[in-house]
Amino acid sequence: MINVALPKGRLGEKIYEIFAAAGYECPSIKENNRKLIFENAEKGVRYFWVKPSDVSIYVERGAADIGVCGKDILVEYAPDVYELLDLKKGVCRMAVAAKKDFYDNGERTLKVATKFVNAAKSFYAKKGRAIDVIKLNGSIEIAPILGLSDVIVDIVETGTTLKENNLEVVETVFPISARLIANKASFKFKTEEIERLAEGIRALTDGETV
Ligand code: PRP
């Protein structure tokens, strides 16, 4: 049995369809209820719907053998897991954004609002730019508008949220897409099963081994 942590939400549903097409379907998952665990014993697969930012925790600690999560989570929390495949779904980017008229003259500490504290710190550390990180949990775009921060480091997908708040991208921090990850011990003991599944998924997503 392979235990799979999937991110709850639209991306997760798309990912499930890929797993199903690869031969790991679990019809009960389509039932309209609030259950979070679904199993198809015949196919040897059990799915858990978890909060997207929690997938890597389940996988790192072995509660799930494998899972799918965004590269943003892997960069931010650096979980001790194997990254097996780039699924090329949920494509977006981590970016620095600011008000349209903002100009960083580099003279004072830059105030950066973000959910991704570690990603922001390491990005600016590499540049040698001193920053003051303000950790927020959502609606990050409001911070520069209210003067809470100079810039934000956040996920940009279509750019609509920035546009509607009169902000613009200053620079890209790193590209993001969904990744198939595996628990290290599970990979050792269920190598064949996990590799077979990963290969089936790779064939359908044209994913790259990472
Ligand atoms: C993310 C991100 C932006 C938005 C960007 O938020 O934080 O707010 O999506 O998407 P766009 O470029 O297509 O407008 P999400 O919806 O994941 O929720 P959050 O507010 O919890 O971060």
Ligand 1 residue neighbourhood (C-beta within 6 Å): 138-140, 154-161
pLDDT winner (highest mean) among 24-33, 35-44, 190-199: 190-199
- CA 178 to CA 176: how far, in whole Å? 7
Residue with CA at minimum distance from ligand 1 atom 6: 155
Q: In whole angstroms, what separates CA 104 from the centre of its chain? A: 29
- CA 54 to CA 31: how far, in whole Å? 23
Residue with CA at minimum distance from ligand 1 atom 2: 155
Q: What percent of the chain has pLDDT over 70?
A: 100
Residue 23 Cα, ligand 1 centroid: separation in angstroms? 32
83-137 pLDDT tens trace = 999 999 999 999 999 999 999 988 999 999 999 999 999 999 999 999 999 999 9
Residue 208: the pLDDT is 83
Residue 149: the pLDDT is 98
Residue 11 Cα, ligand 1 centroid: separation in angstroms? 13
Residue 4, pLDDT above cutoff 80: yes
CB count, 10 Å around CB of 157? 11
Region 148-161: mean pLDDT is 98
Q: Which of 139, 156, 169 should be mutated for ligand 1, with most atoms under 8 A from CB?
A: 156
Residue 156 Cα, ligand 1 centroid: separation in angstroms? 7
Residue 194: the pLDDT is 97
